[in-house]
Structure 1
Amino acid sequence: MSRREPNGNLKRLLDETSWTESQLAREVNRVGTEAGVPLRYGQSAVAHWLSGTMPQSKVRRFVLEALARKLKRPVTLAEAGFPATAPLPTARPDTVEQLIELGRYDMDPSRRGVLGATLFSVALTIPEWPDVVGRLEAVQTGQARRIGFREVDAVAAMTEKVSELDDQFGGRHARPMAAAFLVNTVGAHLRADAPDEVRRALLSATSDLLYLTGFMAVDEGVHGVAQQYYMKALEFAGAADDHLTYCTTLRGMSLQAVDLGHASRAVRLADSAAAASPAAGPRMRAFLAGQQAHSYAASGDRSNALAFIKEAEVAMDKAESRAKAFGSYAPSSLAYHVSQVRYALGDKAGAVTSLKESDRLRDSHYRRSSVRYNALLAERQLEIGHLEEACATWHRVLDDYPLVQSGSADEKVRHMKSLVRPHLRNQAARSLYERGQAATG
């Protein structure tokens, strides 16, 4: 029997991070949870890996991502002393084909497990505007079929309808519709012949739809998938010379990062979005500055957080027209960002006040947002000791919850039950818990 050799490569990487074995285990568990694979590794597991025991194939990817996040650079299998494994199915190097393959995996429930294994990567290189503007050589023209602005308008209309469905009912059903439309309709349009101005408009409309689909994937908790859609949205926005969608997508990536706890990454993405939109109007400026404020607050930078939230408030006061339907930034959104800044900077009572204001200003059409943000309001009401007020807010969440198909809504209701469980001697808490049990089974 051959003797197992210690994994010196992994030991060198661990030394470079300055982590203990227990810290590496915790970070691997965190990455696994993000990918929908709960793990319970501890120090002994890492000790076994260092002694030469190979982690399971799927866990190796989590180890690499955990190390990459700490070291702020990609880490390969070979660098960590792991053997090469068969890669996930990948698209051919054709840009449109990549889009179609991504959509096919997302629209087919039987294949979603493969796509869902895609990890959110903090070390992913984000293309800057000069890297993507005007470029999409892989879009082939010269086909017999020819399209015009009528087809472009149809893509834009479909994007708007899917966005409305997401706002009202959540993205669990709307996202496969968007993916199917990308595969069956948009892909064909991208292959067709068209005048330059039509093609540019089509690329822009495709970028909008890719951004929306990525946003819905975030809501469902498949963050690696969302990141793929967002990267495609950046590429198509650059090809269309569409600054608006490029900046909106970077801002969405920042929001994803800050919600996952990667504050420094969120700051870089939010700043990149703002830098790429120097001529933004007041509403867009508020949209971008609000996210910068949230990201800086999460990173502990009080000065910049307060400066950017003030900038967002001033810009919102000047705003006179709405942005694109699914990228709009309204006073309720600004109030939410004010709440996030207050909370991150330690003003929990002020955060509750701002979330109440956000709820008061929010249009009733945005049911999914109401479920998510009112659940957050209840959590923070409980945190400052207002149990019965929190229960009343959670009852409002449960009023809307059966109408929303959303991974984030599901997670919020599960979290509600765990928070309320220690308070079951209180009648209001017990009544809420029983209702939550009935709602979730």
Structure 2
Amino acid sequence: MKTPESNTALERLYRESGWTMRQFAQAVNRIGTERGTPLKYREPSIHQWLKGHMPKEGARPIIVEAFARRLLRPITHSEAGFPAAATGAGTHMDMVEGLIDLGSLDMDPSRRSVLGASLFSVALTVPGLPDLVGRMEAIKADPQRRIGQSEVQAVSAMTDRLSGLDSDFGGRYARPMAAAFLVNIIAPYLKASASPETRKAMMSAASLHCYLTGWMAVDEGAHGRAQEYYVKSLELAGASGDRMTYCHVLRGMSVQAADLGHGAPAVRLANAAAQAAPVSSPRMRAFITGQQAHSFALAGEKANALASLREAERAVNQAESPVGTFGGFTSATLAYATAQVRHALGDTKGSIESLHDHFRLRDSTDSHRSKLIFSSLLAERQLHVGHLEAACATWNAVLDEYPGMHSGRVDGRVARIPSLLSPYKSNGTARQTFERVRELVAT
């Protein structure tokens, strides 16, 4: 049997990373666990890869992602010495078909464990707005079906309804409905005959619906799947010339990256959103700059973080427009952004103060899910600074409402409580909260 030649491309990346073989294996295993498919690679496997033995097909994108995260730049399969990865939909003629394929995978709730295994990529290629112009005209229209503005209004109304369900009860139940509506109603509408104005409006409405479905995927922890929806949403927004939605989606992608702790990609996406934004209202400027502030803070860029936060404060003070379903940036949102910036910069006590400001300023437009997530963050930070009784009180308020919420993000926060309280079980309040969580999680 012929001995394989050394993978010089992989060796080059390995040297650039500065890793030991053990660290390389640990990075790959860590991403495998994040993906939901735990791996147990060790140094001998790394040695074999460097000597030219091809990793299993399922491991290759994880290896590429590990280097992308380490080197803070996109890495391709070919740059790692691997065969090119299979590409999915994305050509002019298959935009709708790709949308149907994506949504069809998501319509069955029983497939959640499989779909959750998709991999979040810090090096995801984002389609540029100029590259998307003209895609709307490339979709062949079905002469047997024609739509008008009433169909556009129906899509927008359904998206609003599903957004409300998602905010109030979590994405676990709402996402299959959103995916089914995308496949069975929106996709045929996109192929129907219509006036240029109606086709453009339908593409824009479809983009918002696709973005919402991706947001629901984030809530379930299916981060790679969410990125696929986000890219489709960008394609639809760009094809229809909807710059506002295009920059809104980029901002949402930055939020996802920031929540996962990836500061550099979060900055890249937030800056891209700012660059793509048209002349916008003060509310929209705050919406973008508030996210830039959090991203800069995570990336360790303190001066940029504080400058962006000041700009968000100025914009909120100027804003008068009402909060919309897919955006808006209120004083409560600003307080939350301030809390995240302070925490990322190491000021936990200041972060707690800002979270208290957030809850004081919240109103009926703020989502039920965000209340539980932000309250959980507050409890964790109260515990961190030694306020055990306050943390338990905050957690118990979350647990009062937890059974009615079907959110992977809330589940994840609640699941952390026992390990965080375990060192304090000699305290009666902590022990009572600990046991309450265990009982709720068990049921």
When the two structures are superposed, what TM-score results if normalisation uses the length of structure 2? 0.92
Q: Which residue is equivalent to 2:397?
A: 396
Q: Deviations over 1:378-407 (max 9, x none)?
A: 111111111111111111111121111111
Other structure's SS at 1:143 match: strand
Residue deviations 1:104-140, cap 9 Å, x none? Answer: 0011245555544432222222122222245334422
* Alignment-mate amino acid for residue 273 of structure 1: A
- Give the drift of 1:367: 1.3
Question: Is the 1:95–1:136 Cα contact (8 Å) retained in structure 2?
Answer: no
Closer/same/farther in 2, CA of residues 146 and 303 from structure 1, 3 Å limit: same
Do the aligned partners of 1:34 and 1:221 also contact (CA within 8 Å) in 2?
no
Identity, % of aligned positions: 54
Q: Which residue of 2 aligns with 1:250?
A: 250
SS in structure 2 of the partner of residue 236 of structure 1: helix
Structure 2 gaps, min length 5: none
Structure 2 partner of 1:136:
136
In 2, are the aligned partners of 1:134 and 1:241 still within 8 Å (CA)?
no
Amino acid at match of 1:188: P
Q: Tell me the distance in 1 between the aligned counterparts of 2:409 and 2:429.
A: 24
Shift of the 248–83 alpha-carbon distance from structure 1 to 2, 3 Å rule, reads closer
Alignment of 1:357-436 (within 5 A): 357-363=357-363, 366-436=367-437
Q: Which residue of 2 aligns with 1:324?
A: 324
1:153 has 2:153 as partner: yes
- 8 Å Cα contact 1:140-1:190 kept in structure 2: no
Aligned residue number for residue 199 of structure 1: 199
2:8 touches 2:50 (CA, 8 Å); kept in 1? yes
Shift of 1:312: 0.5
Partners of 1:148 and 1:198 within 8 A in 2? yes
Q: Is the 8 A contact 1:28 1:62 kept in 2?
A: yes
Does the CA-based 8 Å contact 1:95-1:139 persist in structure 2? Answer: yes
Could you give the per-residue CA deviations for residues 130-161 of structure 1, whole angstroms, max 9, x where no partner exists?
A: 22245334422242111111110010000100
SS, match of residue 261 in structure 2:
coil
CA contact (8 A) 2:244 2:278 kept: no
> Structure 1: how far apart are the matches of 2:418 and 2:48?
37
**Secondary structure of the equivalent of 1:126?**
coil
Go from structure 1 to structure 2 and tell me whether the alpha carbon gap of 1:137 and 1:74 turns closer, same or farther (over 3 Å shift).
farther
| 1:91-116 Cα shifts (integer Å, max 9, x gaps) | 88510011111000011245555544
1:367 alignment partner AA: H
- Report the counterpart of residue 440 of structure 1 in structure 2: 441
Letter in 1 for 2:167: D
Q: 1:65 — aligned with what?
A: 65
Q: How many residues align?
A: 439
| 1:74–1:162 CA distance, 2 compared to 1 (3 A) | same
Shift of 1:31: 1.9
Q: Secondary structure at the residue paired with 2:143?
A: coil
Structure 1's 379 and 40: CA in aligned 2 closer, same or farther, altered over 3 A? farther
Whether the 8 Å CA contact 2:88–2:98 is kept in 1: the answer is no
Conserved in 1, the CA contact under 8 Å of 2:251 and 2:288?
yes
| Residue type of the alignment partner of 2:436 | R
Tell me, in whole angstroms, the C-alpha distance in 1 between the residues paired with 2:39 and 2:168.
34
| Offset, 1:428 | 1.1
Cα distance, 1:233 vs structure 2 = 0.8
What CA distance in whole angstroms lies between the structure 2 residues aligned with 1:328 and 1:43? 50
1:180-199 paired onto structure 2 within 5 Å? 180-199=180-199
Maintained 8 Å contact 1:211/1:229: yes
- Structure 1 range deviating more: 89-98 or 399-408: 89-98
Measure how far apart 1:429 and its partner are: 1.0
Distance 1:358 1:33, change over 3 A: farther
Quote the offset at 1:418 in angstroms: 1.3
Q: CA deviation at 1:334?
A: 1.1
Q: Residues 124 and 393 from structure 1, CA distance in 2 versus in 1: closer, same or farther, beyond 3 angstroms?
A: same
The match for 2:164 is 164
Matches of 1:213 and 1:369 in 2, distance apart?
Answer: 17
SS across alignment from 1:58: coil
Q: 1:342, 1:348 within 8 Å by CA — same for their partners in 2?
A: yes
Confirm or deny: 8 A CA contact 2:243 2:278 kept in the other structure.
no
Give a deviation string over 1:276-317, Cα, whole Å, max 9, x none. Answer: 114110111110010000001111111111111111111111
Structure 1 stretches lacking a partner, 5+ long = none
Alpha-carbon offset, residue 41 of structure 1: 4.2
Q: Which moved more, 1:58-67 or 1:335-344?
A: 58-67
2:262 is aligned to 262
For 2:129 and 2:88, the matched residues in 1 are separated by: 29
**1: CA distance between counterparts of 2:261 and 2:315?**
27
In structure 2, give the amino acid aligned to 1:123: A
1:260-279 Cα shifts (integer Å, max 9, x gaps): 22211111111111111141
Query: In the aligned structure 1, how far is the partner of 2:112 from the partner of 2:99?
Result: 15
Question: 1:417 & 1:54 partners in 2: Cα distance?
Answer: 42
Structure 1 residue 28, shift from structure 2 partner: 1.4
Q: For residue 56 of structure 1, report the CA deviation from its aligned partner.
A: 4.2
Q: Matches of 2:41 and 2:427 in 1, distance apart? A: 36
Q: How far 1:330 sits from its partner (Å)? A: 2.2
Q: What is the CA deviation profile of residues 398-438 of structure 1, one whole-angstrom value per residue up to 9, with x for unaligned ones?
A: 11211111111111111112111121111111111111011
Equivalents in 2 of 1:414, 1:261: separation in Å? 19
- Structure 1 246/90 Cα, relative in aligned 2: closer, same or farther at 3 Å? closer
Aligned to 1:108: 108
Residue 30 (structure 1) aligns with: 30
Are residue 280 (structure 1) and residue 280 (structure 2) matched?
yes
